Structure 1
Amino acid sequence: MAALAPPVAAIRLAVRRALTGLPGGGPVLVACSGGADSLALAAATAFVAPRSGRRAGLVTVDHGLQAGSAGRAADVARWGVEAGLDPVEAVPVTVAGRPGGPEAAARDARYQALVDAARRHGAAALLVGHTRDDQAETVLLALARGAGPRGLAGMPPRRELDGVPLLRPLLDVTREQTRKACAALGLTVWEDPHNADPSYARARVRADVLPVLVGALGEGVLDNLARTARLVAADTAALDDLASAALAGARVGADGLAVAVLADLPGAVRTRVLHAWARELGAPPAALSHRHVAALDALVTDWHGQGATALPGGLRVARRDGTLRPVD
Structure 2
Amino acid sequence: MAAHHAPRLPQARRWLEQAGATLDPHLPIAVALSGGADSTALLLALAERHPRIEAWHVDHGWHADSAAQAAWLARRCRRWGIPLRTVRLCSLPPTNREAAARQARYAAFAGMAAQSGIDRLALAHQRDDQAETVCLRLLQGAGVRGCTAMRPVRRRDGLILLRPLLAQPAAELRRALRARAIDWLEDPSNHDLTLRRNRIRHRLFPAIDRATEPGYATALFLRWQRQAARLQRAIERQAEAIPLRREPDGASVSWRQWRAAARPIRAAVLQRLAQAVCGAGVCLGRRHIRQIEAWRAEGGRGGLDLSRSRLIHAGDRLILRLKGGMEATR
> Normalization by structure 1: what TM-score?
0.80
Higher helix share: 1
What aligned pairs does 1:275-286 form with structure 2 within 5 A after superposition?
A: 275-277=271-273
On the 8 A contact 1:299/1:319 being kept in 2, the answer is: no
On the 8 A contact 2:38/2:174 being kept in 1, the answer is: yes
What's 1:42 paired with? 43
**70, 74, 77: which is aligned to 1:73?**
70
Give the secondary-structure state (helix, strand or coil) at the position aligned to 1:156. coil
**109, 130, 133: which is aligned to 2:125?**
130
What aligned pairs does 1:200-239 form with structure 2 within 5 A after superposition?
A: 200-218=195-213, 219-239=215-235
Matched residue type, 1:169 = P
Distance 1:281 1:161, change over 3 A: closer
What's 1:4 paired with? none
On the 8 A contact 1:33/1:61 being kept in 2, the answer is: yes
Q: Output the CA distance in 1 between the equivalents of 2:235 and 2:179.
A: 44
What's 1:5 paired with? none
Deviation for aligned residue 1:65: 1.9
Deviation for aligned residue 1:130: 0.8
What's 2:244 paired with? 248
On the 8 A contact 2:41/2:173 being kept in 1, the answer is: yes
Give the secondary-structure state (helix, strand or coil) at the position aligned to 2:244. helix
Matched residue type, 2:15 = A
What's 1:178 paired with? 173
What's 2:193 paired with? 198
What aligned pairs does 1:5-44 form with structure 2 within 5 A after superposition?
A: 8-18=9-19, 20=21, 22-23=23-24, 25-44=26-45
Q: Output the CA distance in 2 between the equivalents of 1:29 and 1:71.
A: 22
Structure 1: 5+ residue runs without aligned partners? Answer: 1-7
Structure 2: 5+ residue runs without aligned partners? Answer: 1-8, 324-330
What aligned pairs does 1:16-165 form with structure 2 within 5 A after superposition?
A: 16-18=17-19, 20=21, 22-23=23-24, 25-46=26-47, 48-50=48-50, 54-85=51-82, 87-96=83-92, 101-123=96-118, 125-165=120-160
Percent identity over the alignment is: 32
On the 8 A contact 1:132/1:223 being kept in 2, the answer is: no
Matched residue type, 1:246 = I
Deviation for aligned residue 1:142: 0.4
Q: Deviations over 1:226-264 (max 9, x none)?
A: 24323422432442343244152799x966654322233
More moved, 173-182 vs 315-324 = 315-324
**269, 275, 289: which is aligned to 2:285?**
289
On the 8 A contact 1:258/1:322 being kept in 2, the answer is: yes
Deviation for aligned residue 1:175: 1.4
On the 8 A contact 2:250/2:319 being kept in 1, the answer is: no
Deviation for aligned residue 1:319: 5.2
Distance 1:124 1:24, change over 3 A: farther
Distance 1:199 1:287, change over 3 A: farther
Q: Output the CA distance in 1 between the equivalents of 2:319 and 2:264.
A: 21
Q: Output the CA distance in 2 between the equivalents of 1:27 and 1:156.
A: 21
> Normalization by structure 2: what TM-score?
0.79
